[in-house]
Chains A and B, each alone.
Chain A
Amino acid sequence: AQSVTQLGSHVSVSEGALVLLRCNYSSSVPPYLFWYVQYPNQGLQLLLKYTSAATLVKGINGFEAEFKKSETSFHLTKPSAHMSDAAEYFCAVRITSGTYKYIFGTGTRLKVLA
């Protein structure tokens, strides 16, 4: 079965520091992977997606993620954190057979310290 695991339910970084949010996937077939951001009392917004075209994916707001098959990882990074990046981040995998069902991780809450 396809799934994702997010390591670290809470991550704190200083403003201007590197952001690294971890996501590992489980899939027997090439996966479709996504990162979403959720601000308080709002729905989810797509940051970026991996669909096998390129292993390094660039998204909105300066975020990017690298698909590493050997490590079954799809970690999200941003070189320099901004206060406005404080939110909850979800990694997700899309089931690739017979449906367009998405499975989300449990989320990582990012705190940015001034």
Chain B
Amino acid sequence: GAGVSQTPSNKVTEKGKYVELRCDPISGHTALYWYRQSLGQGPEFLIYFQGTGAADDSGLPNDRFFAVRPEGSVSTLKIQRTERGDSAVYLCASSLTGGQPQHFGDGTRLSIL
């Protein structure tokens, strides 16, 4: 079956621009997670959704970052006024419910010039 799908796979944009990163979880998975992985580092937790609601957004670094999951399936991570320090691979994962094993997508590599 289909795994977690993230689009685009690569995104290059200029400093100050707005970007949206999309995550399609495995069908039926109610929990969805976003992580940021900088070069040479492990994934850093950003936000966790259970259904449509953000159950834990304590990892969002500042108010330029926002994520939604309006119908409890697809999620979009939105970054406003991008900065060069936002350059990283953004990973999405889903699980059947919270606490079940996570399945990761291949990530979106974001480069801010």
- What number of B residues sit within 8 Å (CB to CB) of A? 27
Contacts of B59 in A (CB 8 A): 101
- The verdict on A42 contacting B106 (CB below 8 Å), with A90-B42, A102-B45, A107-B41 known, is yes
Using C-beta atoms within 8 Å of the partner chain, give the interface range for chain A: 20 to 34
Q: Which of A43, A46, A100, A106 contacts B99 (CB 8 A)?
A: A100
- The verdict on A94 contacting B104 (CB below 8 Å), with A102-B45, A104-B42 known, is no
Q: Give B47's nearest chain A residue, CB to CB.
A: A101
Contacts of A9 in B (CB 8 A): 40
Taken together as a complex, chains A and B put the C-alpha atoms of A103 and B41 apart, in Å, by 12
Q: B12: CB under 8 A from chain A?
A: no
Interface residue ranges, A against B (CB under 8 Å): 9, 36, 41-46, 49, 90, 92, 94, 99-107
